[in-house]
Amino acid sequence: MITARGHRAAVLALCSSLVACAAAVQPHHASPTGPTISGAGMAPDHTYAGCTSTLRFHFDAGPDPAAAPAAWELLRAHGEGRLRRAGIGPLDGGRAGDAVIPVTLPHSGVYHYVVQVEDDAGAWSNALAATVVVDPRLPHRTPTCP
């Protein structure tokens, strides 16, 4: 399950089973008048299967004073670099803020994500990438999540 928390802690839960069958997608073209994002990263960036890592990034509104960042979209790379939608959610931080998106990682592997923000006028931000490495849980040892 993926949850989202904006600057004021608005939360939206998404069903990950619906995401698994999603069609391949591409990041949206960034609008010169759209919002911008910076500082994307996963914390921790190395964990165990079944644990949660948190995607964090900062967002700022574009030059249009009437438009504010309204939602985030998270894409995940699957085999051969194809991207599939991994989640969407609201941003509740006004014209600027810090997004916090916890992501539960069910299986071992390397997870590559791309995140973008859309403002309430429909303009998209730049796209940023973040990666997390997930080790398997060993049967004879139960590590705690970081």
Q: What are phi and psi of 10, to 5 degrees?
A: -70, 135
Residue 123 is assigned to a structural domain of this protein: yes
pTM across the whole model: 0.79
Record the tokens describing residue 4, joined without a space.
Answer: 């989202």
Residue 96 is assigned to a structural domain of this protein: yes
| pLDDT tens-digit profile, the chain (146 residues) | 343 433 222 222 222 323 344 567 899 999 999 999 999 999 999 999 999 999 999 999 988 888 899 999 999 998 777 999 999 999 987 899 999 999 999 999 999 999 999 999 999 999 999 999 999 987 777 668 88
Instruction: Quote the pLDDT of residue 133.
Output: 97
Instruction: Quote the pLDDT of residue 22.
Output: 52
Residue 62 is assigned to a structural domain of this protein: yes
Structural domains in the chain (count): 1
Q: What is the CATH number of the domain that holds 37?
A: 2.60.40.10
Q: Hey, what amino acid is at 59? A: F
Residue 140 is assigned to a structural domain of this protein: no
Q: Where in the chain does DSSP place strands (E)?
A: 2-5, 11-14, 24-25, 36-43, 46-48, 52-60, 69-78, 82-90, 96-104, 109-119, 128-135
Residue 145 is assigned to a structural domain of this protein: no
Domain of residue 55 covers: 2-135
Residue 144 is assigned to a structural domain of this protein: no
Instruction: Quote the pLDDT of residue 11.
Output: 25
pLDDT tens-digit profile of 97-122? 999 999 999 999 999 999 999 999 99
Instruction: Quote the pLDDT of residue 138.
Output: 78
Residue 12 is assigned to a structural domain of this protein: yes
Residue 143 is assigned to a structural domain of this protein: no
